[in-house]
Each structure stands twice: as structure tokens, then as C-alpha cells.
Structure 1
Amino acid sequence: MSISMGIDIGSTTAKVVITEDDKILFQCYERHFSQVRQKTLEIIRRAEPILSGKSFSAAVSGSAGLGVAKAAEIPFVQEVFATGELVRKKVPDTDVVIELGGEDAKILFFDRRTGAFEERMNGSCAGGTGAFIDQMATLLAVAPDELDRLSQDHQFIYTIASRCGVFAKSDIQPLLNQGASKSDIAASIFQAVVDQTITGLAQGRKIQGKILFLGGPLHFFKGLQERFVETLKLGEDMAVFPDYALYAVSLGASIYAEEEGTSFDYHTLVEKLENAADEAVTTLRLNPLFESQEEYDAFVKRHEQATIPEKDLAGYTGDAYIGIDCGSTTTKLVVVSKEKDILYSYYNSNQGNPVEIVREQLIHILKECGDRIHICGSAVTGYGEDLIQNAFHADTGLVETMAHLKAASHFNPNVDFVLDIGGQDIKCFKIRNGVIDNIVLNEACSSGCGSFIETFAKSMGYDAASFAKLGLFAKHPVDLGSRCTVFMNSSVKQAQKEGATIEDISAGLSMSVTKNAIYKVIRAVSKEDLGTNIVVQGGTFLNDAILRSFEIEVEQQVIRPSISGLMGAYGAALYAQELRLEQSALMSLEELEHFTHTSKTVSCGLCNNNCNLTVNTFSGGRKFISGNRCEKPLGRKENKEIPNMFAWKLSKLRALKGVDGGKGKIGIPMGLNMYENIPFWYAFLTRLGFEVVLSDVSSRALYRKGQDTIPSDTVCYPAKLMHGHIVNLLEKGVTRIFYPCMPYNFNEKKGDNHYNCPVVAYYPELLDANMEVLKNISYEHGYFGLHRPKDFEKKAYEYFNREFDIPRNLVHQAAKEAFAVYDAWKWEIRQEGQRAIQFAREHGKKIIVLAGRPYHIDPEINHGIDKMMTSFDLVLVTEDAVAHLGNAGKVHVLNQWTYHSRLYNAANYVTTQPDMELVQIVSFGCGIDAITTDEVRAILEEKGKLYTQLKIDEINNLGAVKIRIRSLLAAIREKEAQQKAR
């Protein structure tokens, strides 16, 4: 009879299992709250009755177990190998192991013949782990077990990103504010975890066969189990969720310990753990935030000067204005007097139901007002602007950047930089001549937001305010850098093991928030980038430690208004006052008391987008529909009179139909550079006798068809879509696909060279290497260059004669015709551009040059941004329609990319046109876009043009895009008003 102990110390929990001849005698699973060695000792002491007086083997595993194993001289087994030991002994017919932990996620692919396995783990991001699920539960204001229960009653699955909490929040918060069902959102969160596992972890390798699911999240969340089984289409025998899923690694460690053979007795093991030395100090320390109480008092006194007089609502008589800011996690509301004093304010969590929160507050306010106070105007801003305005008949809505600017200007008329850090958002905007010139939102990380501090405070038993105060006088703040919210846990734990106090950690976290905002979001190169008149706001800046950290980092004093958390609502109230209305259209007290609100989710089905719509129904049957990417579900026809070159281009390209020429069908995936070159290839292949078949327009469903073959999580979404387009062509019955590698694009003689982006150039090779289905068909992905017509003709003859026995004269005719068709296509684009510009000028409309890559006309990639822009009465022209009219000359970068050269020249042309502004679309994940963006910004700003950038990816949401577009419109109007005034 042999007794063996396995200890698994993970990122958040400690697990101990004691076995005797495969029988489990003892098991324990508990959170260690960074007290790794102490918690391990505590659990082992509970097992004393089993171990005392006996000899047993022991081994340690887990991401946090190595230090304990070394210090206590206990054998250590890497957790992946521990899992391998478990599979080998208990479930030898396993093909794949999926294990999700608190901060870790891994997949093991087993080879049954050799017993070897391949491991894939999460790296720089903790998306798709247990901590991610916990964050999302917090966002929904439910416990994790309630999130699971809700998910099992879902009706719809929304697209929600899982690479980072901020991306997921960007998808979830608009759904919440638009009244989407929490059950649907809960299930969608679990689906996001599944998608992250399939694409981010598997990285193109197919998950099939018998799958063993391990780890806490996959044990506790039945809804998550359901999503995995349904998505992977697993039969009953193929999905294994064992009872020991929580203890899998510790069981594997126990098996390893038994084989390794090191013997312990209970008292020796406990003594080793008690005497184990802590690890050496490696965490850097920083200077204190405040050296003395006197220094802090002076700091507080300085910031107290930025105040708004407050009066009692009960004692006021006269006109008043209401401002509402329905934010990402909180609802803010103020009542302002005609002198701009605050009569009433409210700031609290929206608890996932902002409509009811606002209703309760309005009832309270109107009861207090009685006949003494006359509400002359009301305005709404924030994520829930449209919903709240429609629900309660508020007089107007305004984009939140303008609301914040109005409030900031009230405190400093010369403000040139505003930084707003909220619960899960960071917004900053530069102001030039009183106009918002550039806007930046956090899109890559949520580690600099208020919820970041709040999460840590709760994990340590404090509320956010108390936790923040602890760091004010910390003697040795720890340098935690600016990392992923989840992975920051590891840094905190390490600092705690090295003796850092709670005060040191509080100060260090405050500093990390500041560094994240400056270096990750704003990407400031120097403090001068932030301007000289800085106003900071948002609830997070009510934290004196964060405010002090910011001032230290930027080396200048800033203004933090006393109403930092209410600035959006206050700015909205000021805007409502500017309306100069005699009477607000806001609901009466009686209407509010009888107000009702229900919501349901439906699928639109009126076009290929198949948008999941949230239909909100208010008192009297009034409806507000959200989630739409176009006007169809609203019962309004799209204004097709407004020129929209995105829609025009797509329509033209989709009108190309194959012609049977006797050579059979040949499929072309409609994505990436094919949106640029399809007129050429269509003409060329059709002339050769092929019937060209194009894949369908992109959609999320099409993406999912190929997602299990995507080897890279970081490649741009347009490239990821190509896998689905290949599958789509195969489903059409195509047995020959033509998708050539093209290192060079057409030579437009506008830059230093004319390369295609490396992803665009060589993605056909990647598809060939990662999509097994291509082995069963004829996949033509040879190398071609269209920049030299004579060389192309020669290369094309060699290739098509060899592969299809096509004679030289036919290739010559096809090439000549294809180049002519492409030239005609470019001419037609430019003519359409001039027609659109002429229309705008004849009808007095603004012109937006929407610049990006050719594939941005794909509706799945652009999310209907073109239609959103035209809905604001903007005429939309593409950059290639005007680039030939501009000449950027010698730019400050190596100008070697064709699409980028167009951007520079289009930007140059825009600076010469008084009624044009340029908006640049960037595909998130494309590294070379950063340099291009800086150069485009420089070209525009030199001539006083506004600059707006839209990052488009599967993670982006229309809410953030709408903020930018409306901010641009507001800035244009503001600039025009200033010009008229001058």
C-alpha cells in the first residue's frame, strides 16, 4: 500500500490530493490569496490524521509552486507533464486536453501511438480564463455562479471578444445599455471563451477526437461546458468532464511523486515548509507619493480650488437643467441652476439596468422640484445616450467627448488636453483653438481603469476608496509597471512574498494606472505631447493617489475638478442650458410613475448581416431598437441619394458573375487584396475560359467556418476571414481555387516602392500550410506581380501553359484585356469620386474621405461604418478616388507600401479642400499601420485639419466608432462657428 501526495499551487488556488493505490483519501481546493506557502501548510495540517506516522511520497506542481518546491526541497513536476501523467494513467485514449485555470489556459494534443503530446498555452493575455469570467460577472453585477445559471436560459448568442476584459466590455456594455438580456450576454461570454480557446490557443490545429476538459471554470460552469460541446460538435462519448477536473494537476503530481519515489513523513514535510526561506527580493521600489502630511495638505488645498458651488435643491426656486451621463458601469445625473451651480447630483453603479436607475432619480428630482423649480432643458450623454433619450423624452443627446469638453472648459477656458479615466474606459482628447483635434480611447488593455483598482481592492478585503488612501504615504511603493489586469496579480503576489505592505501595493497600483494611461493609451513620447493646460476627470481621478501619480509622471500640475466623476453629466446640463428652451420635453412625474420598460432580443434577417436586435418597449407601446447596422429594422429606408463609395464599390464588385468558357469553375476568395485586384483577375481568368466563382460577402458565420484553422491570434481580422472564405468556396462545390501570392501591387509611381503588406502578400502560403481541406482540391497559389505588365505576361504564360495547357496568344490577349479593365476600373472610381464631391457641394454637405485598405469595404470588417456616416448626412469618398489629385512629396518614413502611399497623397489633397476631412481606418493587428498613422496625422495637422482614426476588428463595437464620428461632426461645427465668429 503506497500513499502519495500531489500539491498543485496555481495562480489563484492551492490544491492538495492524497491517494493510496488510486483511491483518493484526501482532497482540498482553496484560494490562497497570495499566501502560497502558508495556505499549503494549512491544508497539509488538515491531513495530519491521514499522514501522521506513515511514509509517503510527495511532489509539487503549478505556476506558483516552483518557489515552494525549491525552498522546501520537495520534487517539482511542471504542470503540463503532471497533466500528461494523469492522462497516461487514467484516460489513455484522450486526444486533446483543454484546461482553463484562474489565469492560465492550455491545450495538450496527444499522439496515442507514441504517447507524446504538443502543448499550447496562453502568453501575454489572460483572456479566456477563469479570471476573465470573473471580470465579466462583475461587469454584469452578478456572482459567477449566477452568471452560469443565467447562461442556461439564453436565446441568442452575441459576438463578444475575449482577448481582454476591455474588448469584451466594449461589446457587452452597449448591449446592457440597450436592454439586452443578461441571459443572452452570459451565454455569449462563455461562447467568447470557447472562441478564444479555439483560435487563440489551438492556433490552427483542429480540436477533435476524445477531449478531456479540466480546471475550475470547466468544472463549475455548466454553461461553459454546453458552449464547448455545441461549438465543437462533440458526441456524448467525446466530451469528458471528470469529477476530478479541479484536482487534475495535483492528481498528476501525485502519480509523478509515486514514480519518483522520494519519501517523507508528516512532521519532516511540515518542518521543511515551515523553515522554507522566502524568495529573494526582485521587485523594484519607487519614491513615495507624499513625503509628509504637510505636502499632502498643500496638494489637497490646491485641488479644492476647482469647485462648483452647490446649493440645496429644496431651497432653490427658478429655472434648472438636467444632465444625465449613462456610462459604461455607472450612471451620473446632475441638476444645474441657471447660474450653473449644482442643485443635485447622483453617482452610482447602473447595476446593468440604467433605465430603472434613471427613472428612479427623475421621479425623486421632480418630486423635490414641485412648482418651485422649472425644468427648462435636459440632455443625455454616454453609452446609454440613445436608450435614455428615447425612454424619457430628453430634449437632446450629445456625444460624450463634447460633454466632457464643455465641462472642462468651464474650469479652464484654455484647456488643451482632457484625460478621463472611468470604470473601464480611458478617453483623452487634445483641443486646439477650442476644438477637439484628436481623440484616443483605450482599445488594447483595461489595466489603467478604475475597475482595475477596484478589483484589487476587493480581492484584499477593502473598498476602492479605503484601498486608495492606504497608498498616499507608503514608504516604498512597488514598481508594478503597466501590465494586463489579470497578470498584474502575479506581480502583486511576488511583491507580497517579498514583504511589500498593502500600502506599498496600493501606491504601486495607482502608479501603474497612470503609466498605462500615458504610455499605452495616449502613447506620449514626451510630457509636451499632453499640452500645458490639462484637465483630468472621471471617477478614477477622485483617487488622490492616482492624481498625484499622474502629476509626478507628467511633471506638471493639472486641474482635477471637485466634480471629477460628474463631468459628463455636468457638461450635458450646460449643453441643455445652451438650447434656451422654455420647457423641457422630459416626462412628467405622473408619466414616470407609470413608466414601464421591457426588452427582448430578435434576429433582424432583413439582410446578410442578420443583426441581433434589442427591441426595447416603453409605456404606450413606444419602441426603441438597437443593435442595427443599418436603417432597415427601424422602418426607415437608407438614404441612397447620399453618395457612399464604400457601398458603390461593393455593389460593383459583387455584380461580377462567372461566365462558362469551357475551362470549368475557378474560385476566388473575396478578401484582402482581392478587393483591389478582382476586376483584373476576373477579366483575365474569364478570357482564359474559366468560370469565376467568388466567395460570399463576409459574415461572422463565415468566419466561424474556418476559425479552427487560424494559427495566429494576433493576425488582423481581414486575414482571419480568408479561412472562412476558402471553406465557403468549397461549400459551393468549387474544386479549383485561385489565390496567388503577390509581394508587389500595381506601381502607381507615388512612393519609394509598391509592396503589398506581408500578410496580404503571402497569406495564400499560410492557408496552404494550415488548411487540410486544400489538399483535396487544386489550389493555385503561385507568385505573380502586376507591377510589370510584360513580366506578368511571361510569368502567366509559363504558369497557365504548364498547369492548364493554355497557348501563349490567349494569355497575351487575356493579360492585355485585364490591364485595360483594371485601368478602366480605376478611372471609374475617380469619376465616381468627382460625382460624389460635386453632389456634396451642390447640396451643401460635408465630405469625408474614408481612407484605408481596399478590403475595408467588406461589411463584416467595417461594421457598417459607411452607412453610419451617411446617416449623419456625410458624403463618403474613398482615398483612391482623390489620391491622384494630391502630392505628399517626400514623407518622413520609407514610403514603400502602395495603400499607404495613397493615404499620404489623399491626406495632402484633403488639406487643400475646405469642405473635406479625412478619417483613417486601421485594421487592428497590423503593426506597420502605426508609422502610417503618425505620418497621416502630421500631414493633416500641419494644415489645421481634424484627424480621426477608426480601429476596425472583430473586437470593436459601433459605440466607440459612433463616439468618434459624432465627435468629428461636433468638432467640424465648432470649427465653422469659430470661423464665422472671426
Structure 2
Amino acid sequence: MRVGLDVGSTTIKCVVLDDRNNLIYHTYERHYSHIVEKSAELLRRVAERCGREAVFAISGSAGMGMAESVKAPFVQEVFATRVAANRLAPGTDVIIELGGEDAKILFLTNGLEVRMNGSCAGGTGAFIDQMATLLKMGAEEMDQAAQMAEKTYTIASRCGVFAKSDIQPLINQGAKPADIAKSIYQAVVNQTIAGLAQGRPIKGHVLYLGGPLTFSKCLRQSFDETLGVTGTCPENSLLFVALGAAFYAEESWDLLKTAELLEQRGMSETYRSQPPLFENQAEYDAFKARHAKATVPQADFPTDYAKPVHIGIDSGSTTVKVAVIDENAELLFTDYRPNQGDPIALLKTVLLGLYESHPKLNVASVTTTGYGEDLAKAAFHADFGVVETVAHFTAAKHFMPDVDFIIDIGGQDMKCFKIENGAISDIFLNEACSSGCGSFLQTFAQALGYDVKDFTKLGLFADRPVDLGSRCTVFMNSSVKQAQKDGASVENISAGLSISVVKNAIYKVIRASSPEELGRHVVVQGGTFYNEAVLRAFEKEMGLEVIRPNIAGLMGAYGAALYGMKKAVKGNHSTLLTEPEMRAFHRETESRSCGQCGNNCQLTVNTFSDGGRLISGNRCERPITGKKDDDRWNLYEYKRQLLLGYKPGENRRGRIGLPLCLNFWELYPFWHTFFTKLGFQVVHSPMSSRKLYLEGQGSIPSDTACFPA
């Protein structure tokens, strides 16, 4: 009997072959970071079903440390894949394999050549999982939706964070989830080809392996269309590495003894650690009691309430928050829920609920803020819109008048404000990276099989939190994976991630040289600070006790309501849709390409039932005004026509081609003249376009050069 174990970054695969190499047992399951326990359990299961003596080997990205601990034979996964392909799919030219966090292209014809992702997990299963989470879909659901798509958007795939920056506006602007799902799969294809092909054409008989390609029909179709091939996803495509390990294994082992050895030796804890968040229960109790004092006054909100109220709406990247206050700025009502990709439908439900439960509701003002500020304001006829930095400052100042530093960590963004003399003097925002935000922790919790609240609680009393530094989400995947190999428990990984969030905020986003320069009267807010591990880590890193309001996640909505209260004219009523109008309200979204200039912005046109309209996705005012510019005053058009006016001369000494991009765009007149005078015929590439880029992306001999380089 032959047994192969493939321990990957997120899953564990096991195969059992009889003496004729027939597959008699196999399993594929997530290990949720419990690598040793899961492996031992599988070996026992195999021993009970098939017998305890077997020729045995381990493979996989997380299997090496485990194999070393019990002195079991280890087969490198690329080699295992090749062994299995030679046996089960002879004649294969290229293998494309996508795993949880790794991507590989194996060229088998004319000698083995391997392309693997290094430290970037963009375009892998973990990336697809992150994007599915953002769309509030399961992986299977996302694949089914993608097959109904009508169009694709351009989405970054090199990093999950950049991809979120592309996807979130599409969600907030009402783009169809099916179109976004299809675009995500296309982004994975582009990332794999651009990052891994590196100048070698992918052609001939192509084999698709690994979870993402096995489970997603749409992903396979996208590869086929982009490469111009008809690839094959073979039977047992998920098990090729495990099968290769089983085929290559030579030594006979006692599986039960190996399982026992694994549990005894496990994996020694060799990672770098840092001090625990709480030394004991008493320290934690004192911490809880202190933060319980920071509360915003609340008032009764009976059903017959008829006094004027002010409503604040914070439509964020992942959640929707609503706060209703009275004329004394006391809270009457709050609502906080995930936006599920459709914030407008959720807001309609909340506002209708307010009308129904309070028949005499007297709305004096409605103010919107957050990512979806413009959409919510246009849809429901809100009175005011306020930039979220101002909304958060307004709330914090009302709560703590002498505040000199505010930090707000939301689902995907981070805002920090320095306050001097009662005004914002400096603002720090995360521009491209969300590795210190709520979705960062949520993604890791889900990858390890936990609800985010349960996951972060695990870290409160961890004895040796892992020192993960303050790195990008994608690199952090690798750090967590390494910590798992080094024997770190889930508790210590959880605590380490919470500490990393804080270090990322202070040293990468704010770029502080020391915590002291941030201020001494600090208010922390945003949903991420409900997480006590993050809050405690922040206080320890800053070396002071901070204020976290009990409505930390609602401060944007509360600040918007306060802003509206100050701006509203006494006695006036809000322009908010009435209850009958709210019931009748619906919106339709349509995606279209603007086409009024070379940018070809993908517009999302929201049309509301009352005839109102909001156009988003535009990078200029042209789609809204409907006017075309007069190209006589367009310097860019003038320059373009000037460059295209240079025609190829006589070919006396040869032909030279210049790419019309980067510095050649600026210096083309010089080079054209220079080479023409020397007797060369000078031609240039056509105008850059998405189509041209996609055609050439596989020819870049580097995985670090991005478009347009």
C-alpha cells in the first residue's frame, strides 16, 4: 500500500493506493491551521481503514517542518506534481496550478522549467476567498454568479488590497455582483500569466490543477479564452501532489506510530514572540471596567416621539451605520450592520423601520458620510453630505473637547487626525494598503475557520504572541504560514495579528518615529477598536490609556448627525423621502462605457424611482454635463497628433522600433530625428490600450514589473 500526504497552506490532502496503484481512499479538507492534529487524525483513519503498514511520503508547502520532526521522507511539491503528471496525463506541455496561497506554472516540454509566485499571494485561492468575502458570497456561489456575467471590469490582482480598492467602489456604485465576480476571475488569469509566464508562451496541452481551478468553471473558461487553448482539468486534479508523493515514496512506515510521533513531537515553537497582552485576569478586568465608563448619553425613544430628530448615515466600505439624535445630541436610536454589497437596500429597510415604529417621526435633518455618501444622499434626498474626516472629528470633539489625536480604523480604511487649537492640523490616511484594518483581521479569522469576534478573543490571554511585524496582508499570509510551521498556536497567531494591526497603523500609515509624537489625549474609534485585543495592543504600544467610546463603530454616523444638527435651520423639515415615497422607492443600475474620451470610464448609472439619477465611475464631469471638449485647447491631444505626425523615413541602414510609452513618449521627437538622420527607418508601437497590454502580458520576463513598464 502507498500513502501520500499533501499538507498545503490551507488544505490537507491524503491518498491511498493499493499494490496495483489503484486509488482506494482519498480525502481533501481544510486544516484551519491545526496541521499536526489533522495529519495525525488522517494517518489513524487510513490505518484503521486500509492497514497500518504503508510506503509513505509527505509533500506540500506546510509539510516540510512536519516531515523533519518525525524524520519522514519529504517530496518537494513541484517534483511530486511532475511525477503524477507523467503517470496520469502523459503528453502534457504546461501545468497551471493554483493553490491556497501559491501559484505555479510548470513547463514540461523540452526540459522542466518552473515558475512560482514568491512572496505575493495575489491571484491565488486566498485572494479569491478574500474577494468572495467582500461580495458576501461563498466560492461556489461566486463561480455560479460569474457565469451569468455580461461584462468585465479592470481589477488589480497583484495584491488583495489593491483589488479591494477597485471592487469596493463598484459595489457601492451598484455594479452587478455577477460582473464583479467574472472580473475577479479574469484578474486572477491576468496575474498568473503576467506574473509567471515571464516570456515563455503557454501553448499545447495545458493541465489545470489545484482547488480554485477545480472548483471554478468560470476561472477555467477565463484561462482558455485568454490563452486561446482548451485546457483540461483531470480527474483527481486536487490530489496530484499527494499522488506524486505516493508514487515516489520508497520507505515502508507504520502509520499509527507516525501519528503518535507527530503528536508527541508536534512542531517545536521556534518563532519570535513578544510579551502577552494581559498578564492575568485581574489586569483584564481593570481594563474592561475603565473602558466601560466612556459612554455617550442615551435618551428614550418612545413610539409617539414627535420632537425634532437628526439622522446621521455612515455608508462605509463594509458596513452601514445609522444614528438618530435629539436636540440635546443624546442618542435615540442606532443601527450597525454589514452592507452585504447593497447599502441602499439596507438603508431603505432601516429608514422605513423608523417611520413604521415612530408614526409621528419629525425629521429635522439627514446627513450622509462615508464611501457611499453621494449615493445615499441622492437616493433618499438627504439634506447634507459631510466628508468622513469632518464627521469623525465632530463626534470625537463632542465627546472629548480637549482631544489632540483621533485614530479611526474601519473595515478597509484608516484615518488619523492631529488636532491643534481645536482644528485638524494634519491628516493621515492609508492610501493603498489596508493591512491594518478590520477586513485584514476578518480575512485571517475566516481562513482559520473562526468568526472574527471569537478569533480575536483567543488572543487576549495568549502566552507568546507571534511577532509578525507590520507587513502587507499578502506577505503576512506567508508570515502566518511560517509561524504555523514553527509550532505557533492559533491563540498566539491571533494576538500577533492584533499587535500587527496597531504597529501597521502607527509606523506605516502615520509613519510616527515614536508614539509620543501623536498626542496624549487620544480618542480611538471605528469598528476595529471593539476588538479588545487591538485596543489593548494600541494602549501598550502608545504607552498611555486612551478613550474608546461605547459607540466606537458609530462615531461617523453620530458625527454626521451632529453636523446636520448644527447646519439645520430651526423649525425646518428635512427633505428626506416621506414614508409613502420610501415604500415606493427603488433604483435600477446600468453599466455603460462613457466613450467621450480615450479613458473610456466604466460608468454606473443609478436611476431612482422618483426620476433622480446619479452617475459614478467617472473621472471627470463630462458624462454629467454631456459636453465634449474642444480639442483646439487640449494640450494632450495636440502632443499626440504631433508625435503621430512623425512618419517613417527611408530604410538605408535598417529598421528601428520604439515603444510609444514611458520616456519614449516624451522624447520621441529627438529619437525619431536622431535615428532618421543616421539612415534608419523609425517606426513606433500603436497607441497603448488594454487589449495591447493583455496580448503582451505573458512576454514580460519579470514578476515585479507592472503595467505600463
Whether TM exceeds 0.5 here: the answer is yes
Q: Does 1:721 align with 2:703?
A: no
Aligned partner of 1:329 among 315, 318, 321: 318
Aligned position for 1:4: 2
| Identity rate, percent | 54
The correspondence for 1:275, drawn from 240, 252, 261, is: 261
Q: Report if the CA contact (8 A) 2:526-2:555 is conserved.
A: yes
Q: CA deviation at 1:156?
A: 0.9
Letter in 2 for 1:663: E
What is the alpha-carbon distance in structure 2 between the residues aligned to residue 47 and residue 156 of structure 1?
A: 47
Question: What is residue 658 of structure 1 aligned with on the other side?
Answer: 645
Matching residue of 1:937 = none
**Deviations, residues 47-68 of structure 1 (Å, cap 9, x unaligned):** 3466438x64222111121233
- Please point out which of 349, 354, 357 is paired with 2:338: 349
Q: CA-to-partner distance for each residue in 1:530-570, whole Å, 9 max, x for gaps?
A: 23443221100111221111111122333322221011112
Q: Out of 149, 154, 162, which is 1:159 matched to?
A: 154
Aligned-partner Cα distance in 2 for 1:434–1:675: 48
In structure 1, what is the equivalent of residue 308 of structure 2? Answer: 319
> Which residue of the partner structure matches residue 598 of structure 1?
588
Change in CA separation of 1:649 and 1:458 when aligned onto 2, cut-off 3 Å: closer
How much does 1:90 deviate? 3.0
Q: Distance in 1 between matches of 2:644 and 2:434?
A: 46
CA distance in 2, matches of 1:412, 1:565: 16
Which of 80, 84, 88 is residue 86 of structure 1 equivalent to?
Answer: 84
Q: Does 1:75 align with 2:61?
A: no
Whether the 8 Å CA contact 1:73–1:272 is kept in 2: the answer is no
Letter in 2 for 1:673: N
Equivalent-residue separation in structure 1 for 2:666 and 2:212 (angstroms): 45
* Partner SS, residue 275 of structure 2: coil
Which secondary structure state, in structure 2, belongs to the residue aligned with residue 119 of structure 1?
strand
Alpha carbons 2:596, 2:628 under 8 Å: kept: no
Matches of residues 61-140 of structure 1 in structure 2 within 5 Å?
A: 61-110=59-108, 112-113=109-110, 116-140=111-135
Structure 1 CA distance for aligned equivalents of residues 697 and 690 of structure 2: 10
Q: Secondary structure at the match of 2:126?
A: helix
Given candidates 234, 239, 245, the residue that maps to 1:247 is: 239
- Whole-angstrom CA distance in 1 between matches of 2:8 and 2:647: 62
1:158-307 alignment, distance < 5 Å: 158-234=153-229, 236=230, 239-257=231-249, 261-264=250-253, 268-276=254-262, 277-307=265-295
* CA distance, structure 2, for counterparts of residue 303 and residue 705 of structure 1: 57
The question of whether the paired residues in 2 share the 8 Å contact of 1:657 and 1:693 is answered with: no
1:711-743 Cα offsets, whole Å, 9 max, x none, are: 33433x4xx325xxxxxxxxxxxxxxxxxxxxx
**CA apart distance, 1:350:** 0.5
Q: How far, CA to CA, are the matches of 2:544 and 2:258 in structure 1?
A: 52
Distance of 2:566 and 2:298 partners within structure 1: 20
Flag the 1:285–1:389 CA change in 2: closer, same or farther, 3 A. Answer: same
Quick one: which amino acid aligns to residue 322 of structure 2? Answer: L
Contact 1:6 1:60 in 2 (8 A): yes
Distance 2:453 2:197 in 1: 41
Offset at residue 99 of structure 1 (A): 0.8
Whether the 8 Å CA contact 1:131–1:486 is kept in 2: the answer is no
Q: Distance in 2 between matches of 1:38 and 1:556?
A: 40
Please report how far the alpha carbon of residue 329 of structure 1 lies from its aligned counterpart in structure 2 after TM superposition. 0.6
Deviation at 1:576, TM superposition (A): 1.7
User: Which digits, 9 at most, give the CA deviation of each residue in 1:453-512, with x for residues without a partner?
Assistant: 334444556533344334334444333333454665665566667775554443333212
In the alignment, is the contact (CA less than 8 A) between 2:525 and 2:555 conserved in 1? Answer: yes
- Spell out the pairing of 1:915-930 with structure 2 (5 A cutoff): none
Distance 2:318 2:358 in 1: 28
- For 1:887-902, list aligned pairs within 5 A: none
Which deviates further from its counterpart, 389-398 or 669-678?
A: 669-678
SS at match of 1:157: coil
The 1:636/1:291 distance shift into structure 2, 3 A limit, reads same
Contact 1:164 1:445 in 2 (8 A): no
Q: Compare CA radii of gyration and give the structure with the larger one.
A: 1
Please state whether the residue corresponding to 1:313 is helix, strand or coil.
coil
Give the superposition deviation at 1:630: 2.8
- Residue 523 (structure 1) aligned with residue 511 (structure 2): yes
Q: Pick from 535, 538, 543: which aligns with 2:526?
A: 538
Alignment of 1:453-472 (within 5 A): 453-458=441-446, 462-472=450-460
CA contact (8 A) 1:660 1:690 kept: no
Helix, strand or coil at the partner of 2:708: helix
| Change over 3 Å in CA distance of 1:175–1:661 after alignment to 2 | closer
Contact 2:59 2:75 in 1 (8 A): yes
8 Å Cα contact 1:85-1:255 kept in structure 2: yes
| Residues matched between the structures, number | 700
Question: What letter corresponds to residue 700 of structure 1 in structure 2?
Answer: R
1:439-478 map, 5 Å? 439-458=427-446, 462-478=450-466
Q: 1:568 to 1:31 in 2, by over 3 A?
A: same
Measure the CA separation in 2 of the matches of 1:714 and 1:706: 15
Report the Cα distance in structure 1 between the residues aligned to 2:365 and 2:212, rounded to whole angstroms: 49
Alpha carbons of structure 1 residues 169 and 119: separation in structure 2 relative to 1, 3 Å: same
Structure 2 stretches lacking a partner, 5+ long: none
- Give the alignment's TM-score, normalised by structure 1: 0.67
Where in structure 2 are the equivalents of 1:368-407 lying within 5 Å? 368-371=357-360, 373-407=361-395
Q: Match of 2:26?
A: 27
Q: Residues 585 and 458 from structure 1, CA distance in 2 versus in 1: closer, same or farther, beyond 3 angstroms?
A: same
Counterparts in 2 of 1:498 and 1:255: CA distance versus 1, 3 Å: closer
Structure 1 residues 684 and 438: alpha-carbon distance in aligned structure 2, compared to 1, 3 A threshold: farther
Aligned partner letter, 1:706: G
What is the distance in 2 between the residues matched to 1:681 and 1:437? 48
- Give the 5 Å matches for 1:619-658: 619-637=609-627, 648-649=635-636, 651-658=638-645
Partner SS, residue 592 of structure 2: strand
Task: Please say if residues 393 and 587 of structure 1, whose CA atoms lie closer than 8 Å, have aligned partners that are also in contact.
Answer: yes
Secondary structure of 1:70 counterpart: helix
Amino acid aligned to 2:245 = A
Q: Deviations over 1:417-441 (max 9, x none)?
A: 3322112222334445555454443
Structure 1 unaligned spans of 5+: 723-982
Opposite residue 346 of structure 1, the aligned amino acid is D
Alpha-carbon separation, structure 1, partners of 2:691 and 2:113: 29
* Residues 278, 498 of structure 1: 8 Å contact kept: no
One-letter code aligned to 2:390? M
Cα deviation for residue 573 of structure 1 reads 1.5
Say which SS state the counterpart of residue 321 (structure 1) adopts.
strand
Query: For residue 104 of structure 1, what is the amino acid of its counterpart?
Result: D
From 414, 426, 429, give the equivalent of 2:414.
426
Aligned amino acid, residue 614 of structure 1? T
Please list the CA deviations of residues 552-609 of structure 1 after superposition, one character each: whole Å capped at 9, or x if unmatched: 1122333322221011112222222232232221111110011112223223333322
2: CA distance between counterparts of 1:662 and 1:211?
44
Return the alpha-carbon distance in structure 2 between the equivalents of residues 77 and 348 of structure 1.
47
One-letter code aligned to 2:150: Q
Q: How many Å separate the matches in 1 of 2:310 and 2:669?
A: 57
Contact 2:408–2:525 at 8 Å: present in 1 too? yes
Shift of residue 226, structure 1, vs aligned partner? 1.0
Alpha carbons of structure 1 residues 527 and 204: separation in structure 2 relative to 1, 3 Å:
farther
SS at structure 2 position matched to 1:33: coil
Question: Aligned in 2, Cα 1:574/1:696: closer, same or farther, shift over 3 Å?
Answer: farther
Q: Residues of 1 paired with 2:59 and 2:89: CA distance?
A: 20
